[in-house]
Amino acid sequence: MTLLIDALIIVFLFVLFGFSHSILASNKLKRKLVEEIGDKIAFYRLFYNVVSLITFYLIYELSPKPDIIIYDLIYPWDIVIFVLQFFALIGFIWAASAVNIWEFLGITQIKRYLRGEYNPSELDERYQLKKTGAFKFSRHPIYFFSILFLGLRPVMSFFYLVFFICLSLYFIIGSIYEERKLVELFGEEYVQYQKITPRLIPVKFLKT
C-alpha cells in the first residue's frame, strides 16, 4: 500500500508539472501577453525555461523515493545497455543539432528585442519547419531519443521507473499539443509532412 501511495504522489506531482507547463506553453496565453506587453514577449521564452527547470527540480525533490530496485543487470547485459544508451545519446545530439539552441533557450529573442527587431507575432519563438536529418524519419526525434536514453538503464529503481513512465507520457502528449501549433503555423505543408513521417518511432507504418 505504501508503494502505491508513493507512486500516486509521483504521478500527481508530475501531472501538476505537465498541467502548469502546458498552460505556460499555450499560444492562447502568449497572445494575451502580447496584448498586454507587446514585443516584451521576447523575454517570455527565457522565463518559461527557467520556470520549467525550477518546477521540474522541485517535483523531483518532493517525490518520494522508495529504496526498491526492480532490476540490476549483470555483465554483459549492463554493458549492452550502456552501448545502446550511448547510441541513443548520439541520436539525441544528431536530432538536437538541427535546433537553434539559442532560440530554444530564449537568448536570440532578447537580442532581437534589444536591436528593436522583435516581431510580436512570433510570440516567444521563431519556428522553422524541419524535415531533413533526423526529422526525415520522425517528427519528434528529440523526444524519441530522449525516451530511449532515459529508459535504457542497467539499474532500475521503483522511483525511476514511475518517473520515466510519467516523463515518456509527457513527451508523447506534449508532441500532440505541439503539432497543433505547427499545423496552425505551417498549414497544409505540415499536414502533408504528418502523412509521410511517423510522430515518434521512426517506422513508416506508425504514422500516428
Mean pLDDT (the chain) is 91
What pLDDT was estimated at residue 67? 85
| Rounded Cα gap, residues 151 and 161, in angstroms | 8
Q: Is 170 exposed, middle or buried (0-12, 13-18, 19+ CB in 10 A)?
A: middle
What dihedral angle (degrees, nearest 10) is formed by the CA atoms of 91, 93, 95, 97?
A: -150
- For range 7-17, the mean pLDDT: 92
Q: What residues does each domain of the chain span?
A: 2-206
Q: What's this model's pTM, rounded to 2 decimal places? A: 0.90
Confidence of residue 208 (pLDDT cuts 50, 70, 90): low
SS3 at position 156: strand
What pLDDT was estimated at residue 205? 54
Confidence of residue 125 (pLDDT cuts 50, 70, 90): confident
Q: What is the pLDDT of residues 65-79, one digit of tens each?
A: 888 999 999 999 999
- For range 17-31, the mean pLDDT: 90
- For range 141-154, the mean pLDDT: 95
Determine the residue type at 185: L
